[in-house]
DNA sequence: ATTTGAATTATTGATTCATTTGTTCAAATA
DNA sequence: TATTTGAACAAATGAATCAATAATTCAAAT
């Protein structure tokens, strides 16, 4: 079995247990047992319990981002791209119960501030998805000639805020309606002409 | 001295000490001493240490809201009102160092979720300021015919988010530029015609 | 109506200790 | 060589205790 696939199994097993019992209550031995190996062998793949935890989350976050990127790639029209991005990136969490559960137990994973973001590179990748759409919209003359970087940061912050509101604190339906209304408002603020 | 003015003094003194030492490190006796009274007498005005703390914050938050309301009342044009609201409500904290300091020590004062908001009524008042502007804009035909309640919630959430980013985590200048860019974007999304 | 001193009750912080859990590593195995 | 193991060691944790500090009450005084 290739090592990368083995790591995939490890991270998925770890995520499963961490999401059920939380970081503290989950022992390295629990994870090893779930994988049918000894705990000392787990240390062949990760540096520490903390490392196992962070890498497991990293792994899940990357899958999320790639899934959104794939959905965007299917569209050509900028406005469609924007809408798909807003929707799928938001909906994704509804399906991954384990990741959602971890996020609730460890809300610091979603931070409003880049400086204390443990998953900075991954989120940078997510912001790039937004930025590319803004750039395309501006180049095609469909979006106003805005400050791309600051608007990207603005939109990403709003997005993170809604994830927190919807999934971490669970405002559910109400937050989703706000998200719809907000997305529409923002899209009007971006587009030169409205249909 | 009227009782309400006495309470004002008490809350201001308490805020001063709480902002300097934090909730735990500040004793009821410290506050009493600052006011030149005994701690048992302080209990004539408040129910508990917690009550003293919460009321002090409540007091400060009300002043803030009233200050913003006054600034808005000076303008007639909706767009001007919106701009003034966005600016003064954001700038206010820059001047009240004590409140800012408390907010940093107790970030839960600003929550993204109404359900766990200890200062719900006060924030409802703040949201009313936004709502009134939206209603005026729609009635005058200058804003799109949006869902007022959800848009109000959306804008208030975005506003709180920026307060957190700017004053609690201190992203300072960068966050302020985002706020400007965001405000402009939102205003374009609201307005029917752009100049 | 407001203030006080003294007494009571509730919290907190420091300390200890037994137990669990995280981590390392030399030797074994495939 | 890459992976796995068991045994040993080190670090973290939770429970229990206790003294000190701080919160709260209240009858009496102003």
Mean per-residue pLDDT, B4-14: 93
- CA-to-CA distance for B89 and B172, rounded, in angstroms? 16
CA of B29 to C1' of C4 (A): 14
pLDDT tens digits, A54-104 = 999 999 999 999 999 999 999 999 999 999 999 999 999 999 999 999 999
Residue A184: other Cβ atoms inside 10 A: 19
pLDDT of A194 strictly over 70? no
Kindly report the average pLDDT of chain B as a whole number. Answer: 94
Q: Are the C-beta atoms of A52 and A35 separated by less than 8 Å? A: no
In a domain, A29, yes or no: no
Distance set, CA B13 to CA A171, B31, B53, B127 (Å): 37, 7, 11, 28
For residue A64, being part of any structural domain is answered with: yes
Distances (CA, A) of B187 to A181, B8, B138: 14, 38, 13
pLDDT on residue B172: 72
Higher pLDDT, B194 or B11: B11
Alpha carbon distance, N-terminus to C-terminus of chain A: 54
Residue B195 within a domain = no
Distance CA B181, CA A92 (A): 28
Tell me how far apart the alpha carbons of residues B32 and B148 are, in angstroms, rounded to a whole number.
46
Instruction: Calculate mean pLDDT across residues A6-30.
Output: 96
**How many percent of chain A have pLDDT more than 70?**
98
Residue A48, Ramachandran bin (φ over 0: left; ψ between -120 and 50: alpha; else beta):
beta
Tens digits of residue pLDDT in B54-101: 999 999 999 999 999 999 999 999 999 999 999 999 999 999 999 999
- Answer yes or no: is B140 within a domain: yes
- Taking residues B158-179, what's their average pLDDT? 88
Q: What is the pLDDT of residue B23?
A: 96
Mean pLDDT (whole number) for B135-149: 97
Band (B194; pLDDT cuts 50, 70, 90): low
Collect all residues of chain A within an 8 Å Cβ-Cβ radius of residue B176: none
Q: Are A187 and A79 in contact (CB under 8 A)?
A: yes
Domain count, chain B: 1
pLDDT of residue B113: 86
Tell me which nucleotides of strand C come within 7 A of a protein CB: 1-6, 12-13, 21-26
Where does the pLDDT of residue A1 fall: very low under 50, low under 70, confident under 90, or very high at 90 and above?
low
What's the CATH number where A185 sits? 1.10.357.10
pLDDT at B186: 97
Do B117 and B123 form a contact (C-beta atoms < 8 A)?
A: yes
What's the CA–C1' distance between A164 and C19, in Å?
38
d(CA A65, CA A92) in angstroms, rounded, equals: 9
Question: Is the alpha carbon torsion for A87, A92, A93, A99 positive or negative?
Answer: negative
Whether A100 is in a domain gets the answer yes
**How far B6 CA lies from chain A's nearest CA (Å)?**
39
- Are residues A186 and B190, on separate chains, in Cβ contact within 8 Å? no
Q: How far apart are CA B15 and CA B28, in angstroms?
A: 12
Subunit contact A177:B146, Cβ cutoff 8 A: no
Q: From the CA of B104, how many Å to the C1' of C8?
A: 35
What range does the domain containing A165 cover?
57-190
* 3-class DSSP state of A110: coil
Task: State the pTM of this model.
Answer: 0.92
Q: How far apart are the first and last CA of chain B?
A: 54
Domain membership of residue A34 (yes or no) is no
């Amino acid at each position: 079995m290739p090592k990368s696939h083995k790591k995939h199994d490890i991270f998925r097993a770890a995520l499963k247990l961490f999401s059920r019992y939380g970081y503290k209550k989950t022992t390295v031995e629990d994870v090893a047992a779930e994988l049918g190996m000894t705990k000392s062998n787990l240390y062949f793949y990760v540096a520490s319990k903390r490392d196992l935890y962070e890498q497991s989350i990293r792994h899940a976050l990357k899958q999320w981002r790639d899934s959104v990127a794939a959905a965007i790639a299917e569209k050509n029209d900028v406005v469609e791209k924007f809408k798909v991005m807003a929707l799928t990136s938001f909906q994704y969490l509804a399906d991954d119960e384990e990741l959602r559960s971890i996020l609730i137990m460890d809300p610091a994973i979603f931070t409003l501030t880049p400086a204390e973001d443990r998953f900075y590179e991954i989120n940078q990748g997510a912001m790039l998805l937004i930025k590319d759409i803004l750039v395309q919209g501006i180049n095609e003359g469909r979006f106003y000639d805005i400050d791309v970087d600051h608007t990207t940061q603005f939109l990403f912050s709003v997005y993170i805020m809604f994830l927190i509101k919807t999934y971490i604190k669970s405002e559910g339906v109400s937050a989703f309606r706000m998200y719809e209304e907000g997305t529409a408002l923002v899209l009007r603020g971006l587009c030169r002409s409205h249909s």
